[in-house]
Structure 1
């Protein structure tokens, strides 16, 4: 290739260096092809601890990205054409050059159309499920095809690319989770890296799904922190992130009350954290002044033995009714306190009650400063019911 066009290539590569410095956490690899006559010579660079491990002509070396681009352009002088494919999660940039032209094209990796029905149809033939276990007649947010690597890693899909029969229900749940959060996520700042903290993350399936959706579908810069008391599940989550190449994630085995954020946390999520662990997550979101708090509570035990309301004495003598009322009061008072702290709150049904009775999702979006009138109303209800909720306690001692 002539030097004039090699210099043009260098200008494009300079732009990629800037892109890499900002988006290295979603960089996948670089594929290089030189040609001379009918022969092609291929190289591949992959990320390794901030550098690029590059293999060309059977030799593997470690370079900074700047050093690698220097080597690639030096090598280009020996050949007639150069194509360089720079791949990120969700995006590909192709530079093609010869002695006549140099051009660069950016392509978004498209979702496959109508793949869910086709890809799973053979998996469910001749089988019978309840309504809540079948593949739903909907346009899925997490589509097989592009999302295969993710779906395989979290155990939804077989190695052959079929949705597992016994995981269709879980697939429906995680996809609906994304659907319920999409509008909220769209409202978050567009010019910042969105930091999302998953409290009691467990195996982090939904965190991985949100990571995929935000990064590769919505094209948003994001970073995820997963916290769980179990060292075993944290080790599992770290391994999954490594397998998927999701470098915009970090995981810690610790108590949520011990976590001190080093940067702004935009979103707090908590899924089926047991009893007052949900309150820990909500309190963390309030104290961190998070833009958004999402929780799917579980195991409402705390208020059951606390609350008492004389006008309802005849109703609450029945244990099952008292327990159900405790569930309602727990989540209702959580929403009241969130509103008093300046959040706009909605409580929606996350999944069908046929799946689990613990199926409500609390969605809270920060809208204003503390509302003293709402706080007074909360205090009055605490007094009337003779309760001291964990969320209130955690906010004042966290």
Structure 2
């Protein structure tokens, strides 16, 4: 028996209305579709019922929660696009196949499943709430019992997000055999060192690595405070030093350097120092990238006064463009220095606007790839119409 699209839509509506719908999977799209796959599941947010659509386009996943009214409209649009549809309810699995003649349906009865609507599942953090971490207790993020305070939960999330990046970085470094069971790490511009202490705890007590970490900052009171905490916790291989990035010369053959929210060109100097020390991994979350914006204002060669004048005509748009342009230049420059580089979201924009992470792992690019990157670099600088400090700092480290 062949079925029409409305029959399929009614199956969705009936299972959702009866609160029996568990999930839906749309796969095997027609050739003209940009969608590769769509997953559906019911969620409850603040007491309201939604359907979450997880759409896969060009190997990227996009999530959106839709009301029931909008969900049925979307379903009406996408049912024709896919040749295979799976509907899982609390008591059956419904397999739907589409061909030129219409739809065929095959039902399989299953054991009763429980519908779970909770959207706010416990996040599987690396450092868990209600599990004491001595350094986070000392820093006031946790109570003595390990409970994260409401005021510090955003900081707690940021710490865990940071450790997730570290975890991925460690995996890459091990896979490339760039590190063994020990690491030397520098935190440039460590500040209050929430992340530095968390990193030490993670590497030593969770990953069981032998670590030496130095935090560097210009503020004397901050350095004294952090050293006191490190001493109280018996963190023997964690020390904090007052000093300028440009003058640092204590470590050599460093495994990883990172700088979090280093202001303007301080990020550039931390990248330079990482290259000088032979860092296998360089991580940076930049802040206040004002240099290129200021140079664009004085340049007569920049496309911000030509093709991109709609940006250049508005100060706030030019400022944001210049900030992204600076980070793009940093990523490209590191690739020319022989690193594999990714630019990612560090933390949600709602928690901090300083949310771009540049992650670079030492690689072995081919001569052909370096030539193409150099052409791209030269075109980019010509387009910007400025000579940034970063060019002077790093050009001697560009691979030939």
The TM-score normalised by the length of structure 2 is: 0.62
Q: Which residue of 1 aligns with 2:378?
A: 379
Q: Is the 8 A contact 2:132 2:147 kept in 1?
A: no
- Does residue 287 of structure 1 match 2:272? no
Which residues of structure 1 form unaligned runs of 5+? Answer: 1-134
**Distance in structure 2 (CA, Å) of the matches to 1:276 and 1:372:** 27
Q: Which residue of 2 aligns with 1:362?
A: 358
1:142 to 127, 132, 141: 127
Alignment of 1:14-25 (within 5 A): none
The TM-score normalised by the length of structure 1 is: 0.62
Q: CA deviation at 1:236?
A: 1.3
1:297 to 286, 306, 324: 286
**Distance in structure 2 (CA, Å) of the matches to 1:286 and 1:323:** 28
Q: Which residue of 1 aligns with 2:137?
A: 152
**Distance in structure 2 (CA, Å) of the matches to 1:196 and 1:270:** 11
Q: Is the 8 A contact 2:187 2:257 kept in 1?
A: yes
Aligned residues: 265
Helix, strand or coil for the counterpart of 1:197? strand
Q: Which residue of 2 aligns with 1:271?
A: 260
Helix, strand or coil for the counterpart of 2:286? strand
Q: CA deviation at 1:169?
A: 1.0
Alignment of 1:220-369 (within 5 A): 220-307=209-296, 308-309=302-303, 310-368=306-364
**Distance in structure 1 (CA, Å) of the matches to 2:338 and 2:396:** 19
Q: CA deviation at 1:255?
A: 0.4
Which residues of structure 2 form unaligned runs of 5+? Answer: 1-119, 297-301
Q: Is the 8 A contact 1:142 1:175 kept in 2?
A: yes
**Distance in structure 1 (CA, Å) of the matches to 2:121 and 2:343:** 23
Q: CA deviation at 1:396?
A: 5.6
Q: Is the 8 A contact 2:188 2:217 kept in 1?
A: yes
Q: Which residue of 1 aligns with 2:389?
A: 390
**Distance in structure 2 (CA, Å) of the matches to 1:254 and 1:325:** 32
Q: Mean Cα displacement is larger for which, 314-323 or 171-180? A: 314-323
**Distance in structure 2 (CA, Å) of the matches to 1:397 and 1:229:** 27
**Distance in structure 2 (CA, Å) of the matches to 1:224 and 1:362:** 20
Q: CA deviation at 1:136?
A: 6.9
RMSD: 2.2
Q: Is the 8 A contact 1:144 1:151 kept in 2?
A: no
Cα distance change, pair 314–195 in 1 and its aligned pair in 2 (3 A)? same
Q: Deviations over 1:141-189 (max 9, x none)?
A: 0135654312201211123542212111111110111112212113334
Q: Is the 8 A contact 1:297 1:358 kept in 2?
A: yes
Alignment of 1:70-109 (within 5 A): none
Cα distance change, pair 372–147 in 1 and its aligned pair in 2 (3 A)? farther
**Distance in structure 2 (CA, Å) of the matches to 1:193 and 1:249:** 14
1:194 to 183, 188, 199: 183
**Distance in structure 1 (CA, Å) of the matches to 2:255 and 2:199:** 14
Q: CA deviation at 1:372?
A: 4.1
Helix, strand or coil for the counterpart of 1:388? coil
Cα distance change, pair 315–163 in 1 and its aligned pair in 2 (3 A)? closer
Q: CA deviation at 1:277?
A: 0.8
- Does residue 165 of structure 1 match 2:150? yes
2:197 to 187, 191, 208: 208
Helix, strand or coil for the counterpart of 1:234? helix
Q: Deviations over 1:191-215 (max 9, x none)?
A: 3520011111111110110110111
**Distance in structure 2 (CA, Å) of the matches to 1:216 and 1:252:** 23
Q: Is the 8 A contact 2:132 2:146 kept in 1?
A: no
